[in-house]
Structure 1
Amino acid sequence: MKTYTYAALFEPKQQSDGYVVSFADVPEAITEGDTLGEARSMAADALGIALLTYLQLDRALPTAQATGIPITPDAEVAAKIAVIETFRASGISQSELARRLGKNEKEVRRLLDADHRSKISSLNEALSVMGQRLVIGLAAAE
């Protein structure tokens, strides 16, 4: 099973209250928050944006190797990343994906657009017709 979880490093700010959050495996994802909770939320957003940017630039996603506090992008963002990655690996065309989904190509372009929000049900359907299954887990908040 593939996840989009990366280890984050939370460091206290030097000049004020709060935390700076960075990811050794995804150096483009750096953010901060005034509280630990806010820093975690901001970290999930920053990670999602960075991973989507990798895909927009046709770069492979980094391998998660670092240790730290595990952070995953929000479910919709992780599902979008999964659809884009799966589509690229599938070797099918946008026209073929549209045919399999019974949708027009404009809708498929939006599904594959990192900047366009998509419903998780649509992303799940796209993954399904490409032979993948979306799995959502539950973990205790730290």
Structure 2
Amino acid sequence: MTLQQAMTMSRFSYGAKLTPDETDGGWVVTFRDLPEAITQGDDVEGALREADDCLEEAIAARIDDKRDIPVPSDLVQGEYGVCLPIQTSLKASLYLAMKEAKLSQVQLAEILGLDEKEVRRILDPEHGTKLPTIERALKALGQQISLTVIEEQG
């Protein structure tokens, strides 16, 4: 996904398909845009809770592995929209902005006047980075945060 494509999205929301598990019972969850993201739950509610975590882990792994983050496809009939948690969305946005600008972590650290380790932590989906820090990094790349609140499905 390019930054321009990401900017046309109002959020990081991916379609999740729930398929009955005929063998073990419950529901298997898959994401069309993220084939590696597969999980399951005992019921629809539980499967969707697991889908939230699975989506976050899939995007975090793509950031860690320096892989592309796909543009979410439009939902098709029968899919549930699963939104990435806000902090992970912001870190993914920063990651995409850096890729688009062809900036390394060392280069961003220089721009921000930080140690490269701090930039690594900012991008680390497991690290609880403060919002002003992410805002500052995005601003340095010519980006700003805009929030869209949507009604939850279900």
What is the CA–CA distance in structure 1 between the aligned matches of 2:104 and 2:61, rounded to whole Å? 21
One-letter code aligned to 1:91: K
Question: In structure 1, how many angstroms separate the alpha carbons of the residues matched to 2:115 and 2:150?
Answer: 37
The number of aligned residues is: 142
1:58 to 63, 66, 71: 66
CA spacing shift, 1:93–1:25, aligned 2, 3 Å: closer
Q: Deviations along 1:6-61, whole A, 9 cap, x unmatched?
A: 11101233245532211112111111122333322221211121122223333222
User: With structure 1 as the length reference, what TM-score do the two structures score?
Assistant: 0.81
* TM-fit CA distance, 1:137: 1.8
How well do the aligned residues superpose, as a CA RMSD in angstroms? 2.3
Partner of 2:26: 18
TM-score (norm 2): 0.76
Q: Which runs of 5+ in 2 are unaligned?
A: 1-6
Runs of 4+ that moved beyond 4 A: none
Look up the match of 2:142: 131
- Distance of 1:38 and 1:120 partners within structure 2: 30
Q: 1:38 to 1:135 in 2, by over 3 A?
A: farther
Unaligned ranges ≥5, structure 1: none
- The one of the two structures with greater contact order (alpha-carbon pairs below 8 A, sep at least 6) is 2
